[in-house]
Amino acid sequence: MTGQTGTGVPPSSGSLPTEELPPLRLGTRRSALAMAQSGMVAEAVAAATGRRVELVEITTYGDTSREALAQIGGTGVFVSALRDALLAGTIDLAVHSLKDLPTAAPEGLVLAAVPLREDPRDALVARDGLTLAELLEKGDPLHPARIGTGSPRRMAQLHAWASASGLAVETVAIRGNVDTRIGYVRSGELDGVILAAAGLNRLGRLAEATEVIDTDVMLPAPGQGALAIECSAANPELAAALAVLDDAPTRAAVTAERALLAALEAGCSAPVGALATTQADELALRAVVGTVDGATVVQMSTTGDDAPDELGRGLAARLLAAGAAGLMGERAK
């Protein structure tokens, strides 16, 4: 009789067998864009932690309300339901578009990772493959090109650029998901709409952009194109595991942009654009504040090896000294 002590596969001794840990619950909004970016992060988190990751869909007030964002308290409405779920422990991590994240640090939560940023610029989706310049040149003061955007920042810069170029433009306040917004162009209701290039790209629809708008024409929203991965401060092991997804240059850039926004006491629906880029270990930060009609815009830049948040606050102070507060109108949160 042969022995019963054959060499089976020994139980692994090192790390915990992953199948014994419950999956990580990643909270996400239901929109196609949120699902796309959460799916990407879920894969990265699974690879980084060796854990399974399941998506938990959470509906926010911003998803169900058709009111203008400025009316319902800014894009923070997209964030708070996910944060409530994190604090309640019904999800383990949440993925947000960083530009929707209020600048105030939340009690009990950690910004565990800011992954590598995508193209931060805005993009135009226009009829007939036209660029912004071509579209506006086809109009005239009585029949200006009609461009859809609900963003005061985009409106301000679009009007300022058109006026500097001697061209007419009409902005039409719209909101809704990417499909809805592009739909206004496909139906012929609008000549073009402006959206974040990163959002189009994550949906696999960047090819529908007829122009990615140069940052000399339009500075993006602080944090645009970057994602935020949040978890509970009560779970430092998870925060540490998620930290491998952090991209240091992206975090430095968005830290500078958000410090500027916070120091201006402006929210994500204020007419403020800002973009930091890394150049040979130095951060270069550009920012614009304007009136929504574009009649007055103040643009400034700075560079240096100061800490990112100091760079942001310093530029905000210079903008405020130049009268920025008076341009932003009613402070949005």
Active-site residues, by number, are 100
Per the listing, tokens 């994240």 go with: 101
Alpha-carbon distance values, 172 to 38, 75, 107, 147, 193 (Å): 30, 19, 38, 6, 9
Nearer to ligand PBG, 61 or 234 (CB): 61
Measured from the CB atom, the residue of 100 and 230 that comes closer to ligand PBG is 100
Letter string b/e over residues 215-253, b meaning 16 or more CB atoms within 10 A of that residue's CB: bebbbbbbbbbbbbbbbbeebeebbebbeebeeeebbbb
CB of 275 to ligand PBG, least distance (A): 12
Block residue for tokens 């968005």: 254
Distance CA 88, CA 58 (A): 13
Q: 């194109």: which residue's tokens?
A: 225
Considering only 49, 97, 157, 250, the residue that binds ligand PBG (CB under 6 A) is: 97
Least Cβ distance, residue 319 to ligand PBG (angstroms): 22
Report, in Å, the least distance between residue 69 CB and ligand PBG: 7
**Which C-beta is closer to ligand PBG: that of 144 or that of 220?**
220
Report, in angstroms and rounded to the nearest whole number, the Rg of the chain calculated over CA atoms: 22
- Check binding of 155 to ligand PBG (CB under 6 A): no
Q: Minimum distance between the CB of residue 264 and ligand PBG, rounded to whole angstroms?
A: 18
Q: Which stretch binds ligand PBG (CB under 6 A): 97-105, 135-143, 246-254, 303-311?
A: 97-105
Looking at the Cβ atoms of 101 and 241, the one nearer to ligand PBG is 101
Q: Restricting to residues 56-85, name those near ligand PBG by CB under 6 A.
A: 75
The residue (of 267 and 308) whose beta carbon lies closer to ligand PBG is 267
Residue among 193 and 242 whose Cβ is closer to ligand PBG: 193
Give me the least distance between CB of 272 and ligand PBG, in Å please: 14
Count residues near ligand PBG (CB under 6 A). 10
CA torsion angle for 24, 28, 30, 31 (degrees, to 10)? -130
Using CB under 6 A as the binding rule, whether residue 31 contacts ligand PBG is answered as no
Any contact of residue 291 with ligand PBG (CB under 6 A)? no
Binding to ligand PBG, residues 191-220 (CB under 6 A): 195-196, 198-199
Residue 76 has φ and ψ, to the nearest 5°, of -55, -25
* Helix (H) or strand (E) run with residue 42 in it: helix 32-49
Distances (CA, A) of 45 to 53, 175, 244, 262: 7, 31, 9, 29
Distance of alpha carbon 312 from alpha carbon 249, whole angstroms: 15
Closest among 180, 186, 187 to 195, alpha carbons compared = 180
Which residue in 29, 51, 83, 99 binds ligand PBG (CB under 6 A)? 99
Residues near ligand PBG (CB under 6 A) are 75, 97, 99-100, 195-196, 198-199, 224-225
